[in-house]
A and B are shown apart, each in its own frame.
Chain A
Amino acid sequence: MISDLFSVTVLVGILASGIRLATPYLYAAIGETFGQRSGVLNLGVEGQMLLGAFAAFYVALTTGNLGLAVLVALLVGAIMGLAMAFVTVNLHAQQGISGIGFYLFGLGMSDLLFQKMLGTVETVKGFPKIHIPFLSDIPGLGEIFFSQNLMVYGAYLLVPIAWFVLNKTTLGLKIRSVGENPEAADSLGVSVAGIRYFTIVLGGTLSGVAGASLSIALLNVFQQNMTSGLGFIAVALVYFGGWRPWGVLGGALLFSMVNSLQLWIQVLGIPIPSDIAVMMPYVLTILVLVASVSRVRGPSALTKPFERED
């Protein structure tokens, strides 16, 4: 039975599942990385995802236009981001608490809209799987990497872009300096408020897309509270990945692969109780986090509101 795990079908299955499962984490966690690198912790990711998921689903259902659906999810996420930015940057609200406020708002609002505008669980025609010519015919690898839907590819494309922006551009430098030492950045003429507005809105936007990747690409259905804690895991993955896009990618993949591994363990009838199996990804995450915590240091100004001293 254990040896079944190493058959090609199973390995391909685990990897392909893992790649899909990691998609919403990637969008949300990359967005959160930008926010945290500039010193803002946004715990409202889950709420932004839910609203983005609903918005995208609703637009896709009523218009059938998937591009428009993603755009609306982007917008909804951005608006949520703007509100979060106003509360944390202008009003200096405690970030953790206000983030939870936004989470609850998103949870309740998406539920309310769902009840008022749809009323029942429905399905929608989402992004189809794209089989990249030739590459998707490669045995194994083809199914894993080259037969996914557009939003999956988008998530993985985002990682190098985020890395480039954060590390190789002036904007990235500003973001990092605002997160490390806002006073110094301010004295050099960097607008701390402006940068934080940018990163929080970007984070909200990507969270909205993360929601859309669930409701119109991976699942093609909307249900109340369908993110089911995904947004919070995304926040944890930012810590896990040491505030670096590649680290986030590694964390998201590890978590998702172990999750799909445990699905296979049950399917193959390997005698591990299901309760233990479903714990695996979480236990592993905690272990890696504990092992790596001394290695990386987070942005110094994380969660600290910036108040200019005149």
Chain B
Amino acid sequence: MKKTVRLFVLFVLLALVVGACGTPATEAPAPVEPTQPAAPTATEEPAATEEPTATEEPVAEEPFRVAVVMPSAINDLAFSQSMYDALLRIQEEMGGESMFEIVYSENMFVVDDAAAALRDYASQGFDLVIGHGSQYGSSLQEIAPDFPETSFAWGTTVDTFGLPNVFAYEAASDQGGYVNGVIAASLSQSDIMGVVGPIETGDAKLYVDGFVLGAKATKPDLQVNVNYIGSFSDVALASEAANTHVSAGADVLTGTAQMVVGAIGVAEENNVLWFGTQSNQTSLAPTIVVASQVYHWEVVLAEMIDLIKGGTLGDQSFVIDLANGGEVIEFNPDYTVPEEVQALADTTIQGIIDGSITTK
């Protein structure tokens, strides 16, 4: 009797977790339910939009259906948000939900759960299934051959595994990093700057290396202290890393990935300038954010969608950069950059676009 009560309580508890939570727990099937308990945002109701398309199939033009699996939240002001915002912009362009359906699973930091979600979306017949994170690559490599009619995309990478239905995309984040570095170095007075990075790999490393290169190109004697905290989520350590930089004399900071929100707070507290990347981070600290490199994935997504409509499902890789408009340096309108620095930023961007400046 007691045992059953215990079991029952545990079951209820787990059910609560599965039902209510927005995060993938260890229960693999939960986050991939087509009804999307994980994503109860008002703007898209996959369950609701799915049914009419199934019944009225022959009448209207079918919407293009995209599913995306992301490692963090759609509102992380960083990597995941950059993709979600891009999808929303495409949706607007294509004429709203009836023409372009978006379904997502966020916070899929457990790769196994993500793999289950990807497979689930593929079997639901989505036109394009995106694994937005380089950690999902090996899962896609396994899943994609089982669904030859479905197009997959993943990033950030250039590797399509040679599969006919896998696209790859990446950001030349070194370019925006370089521009940020040039502006930052011009504004630094102590000639010491600090970088808060997550793990020394991929997109983060590209950005950081680009930033350092740009800074050094502007002021060769300037010192850039780089710190990788070993985590994409440890906000507390990121904030303490920023404190460390400030103690070391830095008067300009930058950083990449979603845990930097902690570092931005420290920058604001110490009145130190901040440069953002991935998404526009001005809203977090309007007084000290100078500029953000913002990813506009819609540039490559639009190309992919056109290809898919034309019958090409993959085997191509794409890069967003300053030249194709996939990367944009967005300045904080409330922070006035001196004219000569603005001019230097513009010529740097131009130089990168025409190839006279290399950022790697």
Contact = CB atoms under 8 A, between A and B. Distances in A.
Interface of A: 9-10, 12-13, 16-17, 20-21, 24, 87, 91-94, 97-98, 101-102, 104-105, 107-109, 111-112, 115-116, 119-123, 214, 218-221, 223-226, 228-230, 259-260, 263-264, 266-269, 273-275, 277-279
A162 B261 CA distance: 33
B13 A101 contact: yes
Given A225-B233, A260-B244, A267-B244, 12 more contacts: A13-B243, A16-B247, A24-B236, A93-B6, A104-B21, A108-B21, A120-B75, A224-B107, A259-B237, A263-B240, A275-B228, A277-B230
B5 interface: yes
Nearest to B73: A224
B10 A121 contact: no
Contact of A219 (B9, B233, B239): B239
Contact of B248 (A87, A224, A267): A267
Tell which of B16, B194, B241 has the most Cβ of chain A within 10 Å: B241
A267 B227 contact: yes
Nearest to A226: B235
B228 A267 contact: no
23 contacts: A17-B240, A92-B2, A93-B6, A98-B13, A101-B10, A104-B21, A105-B13, A105-B17, A108-B23, A122-B284, A123-B265, A214-B235, A223-B259, A225-B23, A225-B107, A226-B233, A260-B244, A263-B237, A264-B248, A267-B226, A268-B225, A269-B225, A277-B230
B284 A263 contact: no
A295 B198 CA distance: 37
A267 B245 contact: yes
Given A214-B235, A218-B239, A228-B236, A121 B244 contact: no
Interface in B214-258: 225-231, 233-237, 239-241, 243-245, 247-248, 258
B96 interface: no
Contact of B226 (A116, A259, A266): A266
Given A223-B258, A274-B230, A228 B244 contact: no
B77 interface: yes
Contact of A102 (B13, B231, B268, B284): B13
A24 B235 CA distance: 13
B247 to A, nearest CB: 4
A278 B285 contact: no
Interface of B: 2, 5-6, 9-10, 13-14, 16-17, 20-23, 25-26, 40-41, 72-73, 75-77, 107, 109, 194, 197, 199-200, 225-231, 233-237, 239-241, 243-245, 247-248, 258-259, 261-262, 264-265, 268, 283-285
B228 A101 contact: no
A264 B25 CA distance: 35
Nearest to A115: B22
A105 B21 contact: yes
Nearest to A219: B262
B160 to A, nearest CB: 28
Contact of A214 (B5, B227, B236, B244): B236
Contacts of B2: 91-92
B284 to A, nearest CB: 6
A266 B199 CA distance: 13
Contacts of B258: 223
Nearest to A267: B225
Contacts of B5: 91
Given A93-B9, A223-B258, A112 B75 contact: no
A212 to B, nearest CB: 13
A120 B77 contact: yes
Contact of A111 (B13, B14, B21, B225): B21
